[in-house]
Amino acid sequence: MPPAELHRLAMETVRGWHEGVQRIVREADVEATFALQVYSAQRVEPWDEPAVTLVGDAKASYERRMLDYAFAAVEASREHPFAPRPTG
């Protein structure tokens, strides 16, 4: 796509987002607009490798919680990239 068309698409994409994000896109140098492919982590199944995490008998439980937490964060950032981070 030509830069102007990419910029128009970016403006459509951020419609309804925080005004600060919309302003960044609106005021961008249209001729310098280019496409960029973004990748994120793919969810994996828990693994069975006793030498990976050293937290005693709680290793398997810890890994399951860590995978759930980590991939929930990845999915949330992909769906709402400019949402504030949860606290607490």
Q: From the first residue on, what is the mean pLDDT of each consecutive set of 10 residues in the chain (88 residues)?
A: 95 92 95 85 73 60 82 82 60
> Is 24 in the same domain as 42?
no
Instruction: Extract the tokens encoding 9.
Output: 């698409």
> Is 55 in the same domain as 83?
yes
- pLDDT at 58 (0 to 100): 60
> Is 83 in the same domain as 50?
yes
> Is 29 in the same domain as 60?
no
Angle, CA of 26, 30 and 35, to the nearest 5°: 100
> Is 80 in the same domain as 42?
yes
- pLDDT at 44 (0 to 100): 77
On whether the pTM is more than 0.95, the answer is no
The total number of structural domains that make up the chain = 2
> Is 19 in the same domain as 44?
no
Residue with tokens 């504030």: 84
- The CA-based diameter of the chain, rounded to the nearest angstrom, is 57
Angle, CA of 63, 69 and 72, to the nearest 5°: 135
> Is 42 in the same domain as 25?
no
Q: Residue 64 is part of which domain span?
A: 38-88
